[in-house]
C-alpha cells in the first residue's frame, strides 16, 4: 500500500472520505475459491453470499426481510447495461465531452463490476411485504443515493440503517456510492473490509 492509498484509506475509515479510489479497489489480488453460483430470489450468487443472505433475515427486526434484485451478471449483460446507460447520459447531456461521459458512465455502471463475480448483490428492504423506503429509489441517482447521505424522511433514514446494520453483521461491505449495493468476497469487499485478497474473481461464460 503506497502512502497516497494509505491516506485515502484512513480518510475512508474516519468517514471523512467515503469512496475508495477505483484503482485501489481494482489492485486487490484475487485468490479464486471456486465456489459455485446458486439461485436466490431469481438471481445467481456465490454459495458464500447465499449463506450470508440467509443470516441477514435473521438479523433484521420482526416484519422485515431483504429481497435480492440483482446478483451475478455475465459480460454480455454488463456490456448491455453500459450501452443503455451511455445512451441515457448522451440524451441528458448532448454536449458532454468524452472524458465526462466515461466518468459519468463508470459512476452508474462500473466497468469491472463486482456483479461479474457473483459476490455483489443489489438488495431491497421489505417491511410487511412492501418495499420499505430507504431514500432514493433503486437505480435512481440523486443526492440521496450515497449511503452516507442525510435523508430528509426519518422512516427512510431508519430503514437504511436497519438494512446496513444487518448486512454488515452478516459480513457484507457496502459500496458507499449506492445504498443498495453490497458485496462479499469480491475486490470491493477486499478493499473496504481491509482484506489482503478477493476470493471471488469474474465468472467467465462457459
Q: How far apart are CA 96 and CA 61, in angstroms?
A: 46
CB of 169 to Zn ion, least distance (A): 20
Q: Looking at beta carbons, which residue is closest to Zn ion?
A: 181
Lookup result for grid cell 437504511: 160
CB of 98 to Zn ion, least distance (A): 25
CB of 52 to Zn ion, least distance (A): 16
DSSP letter at 33 equals: -
> Nearer Cβ to Zn ion, position 181 or 187?
181
Dihedral sign for Cα 52, 15, 188, 123, please.
positive
Interface with Zn ion by CB under 5 A: which range of 35-43, 61-69, 122-130, 196-204? 122-130
Interface with Zn ion by CB under 5 A: which range of 46-54, 120-128, 133-141, 155-163? 120-128
Q: Which residues contact 179 (CB under 8 A, 6 or more apart)?
A: 134, 135, 136, 145, 146, 147, 149, 160, 163, 164
DSSP letter at 198 equals: B
> Nearer Cβ to Zn ion, position 39 or 155?
39
CB of 48 to Zn ion, least distance (A): 17
CB of 115 to Zn ion, least distance (A): 6
**Count of residues engaged in binding Zn ion, rule: CB under 5 A:** 2
CB of 181 to Zn ion, least distance (A): 4
Please list, residue by residue across 137-168, b when 16 or more beta carbons sit within 10 angstroms of its beta carbon and e when fewer do: ebeeeeebbbbebebeeeebbebbebbbebbe
> Nearer Cβ to Zn ion, position 11 or 193?
193
Q: How far apart are CA 66 and CA 104, in angstroms?
A: 29
Among 53, 73, 122, 200, interactor with Zn ion by CB under 5 A = 122
Q: How many CB atoms lie within 10 A of CB 102?
A: 14
- Residues numbered 173 to 192 that lie near Zn ion (CB under 5 A) are 181
Residues that bind Zn ion (CB under 5 A): 122, 181
Amino acid at each position: 500500500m503506497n502512502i497516497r492509498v494509505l491516506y485515502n484509506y484512513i480518510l475512508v475509515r474516519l468517514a471523512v472520505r467515503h469512496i475508495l479510489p477505483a484503482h485501489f479497489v481494482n489492485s486487490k489480488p484475487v485468490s479464486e475459491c471456486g465456489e459455485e453460483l446458486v439461485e436466490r430470489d431469481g438471481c445467481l450468487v456465490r454459495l458464500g453470499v447465499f449463506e450470508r443472505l440467509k443470516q441477514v433475515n435473521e438479523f433484521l427486526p420482526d416484519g422485515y426481510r431483504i429481497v435480492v434484485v440483482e446478483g451475478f451478471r455475465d459480460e454480455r449483460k454488463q456490456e448491455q447495461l453500459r450501452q443503455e446507460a451511455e445512451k441515457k447520459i448522451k440524451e441528458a447531456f448532448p454536449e458532454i465531452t468524452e472524458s465526462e461521459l466515461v466518468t459519468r458512465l463508470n459512476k452508474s455502471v462500473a466497468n469491472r463490476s463486482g456483479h461479474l463475480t457473483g459476490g455483489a448483490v443489489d438488495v431491497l428492504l421489505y417491511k410487511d411485504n412492501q418495499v420499505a423506503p430507504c431514500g432514493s429509489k433503486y437505480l435512481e441517482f440523486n443526492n440521496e443515493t450515497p449511503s452516507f447521505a442525510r435523508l430528509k424522511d426519518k422512516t427512510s433514514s431508519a430503514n437504511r440503517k436497519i438494512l446496513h446494520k444487518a448486512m454488515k453483521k452478516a459480513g457484507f461491505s457496502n459500496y458507499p456510492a449506492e445504498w443498495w449495493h453490497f458485496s462479499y468476497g469480491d475486490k470491493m469487499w477486499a478493499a473496504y473490509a481491509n482484506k489482503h485478497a478477493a476470493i471471488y474473481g469474474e465468472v467467465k461464460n462457459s
